[in-house]
Amino acid sequence: MTMRMHRLDPSRRGDFAAVLARGSAESAACACTAYHAADYGAACRERLFREGVSDGWVVYEGDTPVAWVQCGPCALFARAPKAPEPDAWIVTCLVIVPEARGRGLAHRILGAVLAELRARGARYVLAAGHRLGPAYSSPLPELPETVCVKAGMTLVRDDPECPLYGMRL
């Protein structure tokens, strides 16, 4: 099935919320705002919509929303790690609905994001990878570390659960 990515804007609010609600209770409560500022969750997301901030893509297979990938310039996120390059972008979160997992979609999404960033002229991207496994503390299967490695990214900062990867574009 054909995958399409659309930048998040208020017209995609319902599809975005549906993906997060189906992703996990944690993703629904966060509303993908943990990297932003002090107003967490729905209040922060509504503020971002009002301000016209687009911080990622809703991903569709056909007409069905199946994923959300948060990505923007590091400067957009108050809580982003310090980037080793000026004007770097960061992939902070990936939520895939349960029925779409296990089919390589995370690899396809990260590849599409990297291609989009290259087309926009971005020179460097970071990705918050996750070491999934029995010791992983989040119930949300986020961007697996293996996806970052397979995309050719290199380790920038190690962490037992959430290593940071980078790539020059």
Domain 3-168 has CATH 3.30.70.100: no
Contact 93, 54 (CB under 8 A): no
**What pLDDT score was predicted for residue 138?**
59
Q: What proportion of the chain, given as a percentage, has pLDDT over 90? A: 70
Contact 87, 120 (CB under 8 A): no
Sheet containing strand 89-96, strands side by side? 3-7, 56-61, 64-73, 89-96, 124-128, 164-168, 154-157
Phi, psi of 5 (to 5 degrees): -120, 135
Going from N- to C-terminal start, the domains of the chain cover: 3-168
Reported as a single tens digit per residue, the pLDDT across 97-150 is 999 998 999 999 999 999 999 999 999 999 999 886 666 555 555 799 999 999
Q: What is the average pLDDT across 4-14?
A: 96
Reported as a single tens digit per residue, the pLDDT across 61-109 is 999 999 999 999 999 999 998 888 889 999 999 999 999 998 999 999 9
Phi, psi of 151 (to 5 degrees): -75, -5
Phi, psi of 154 (to 5 degrees): -120, 155
**What pLDDT score was predicted for residue 135?**
60
Amino acid at 100: A
**What pLDDT score was predicted for residue 91?**
97
Please list, residue by residue across 111-143, b when 16 or more beta carbons sit within 10 angstroms of its beta carbon and e when fewer do.
ebbbeebeeeebebbbbbbbebeeeeeeebbbb
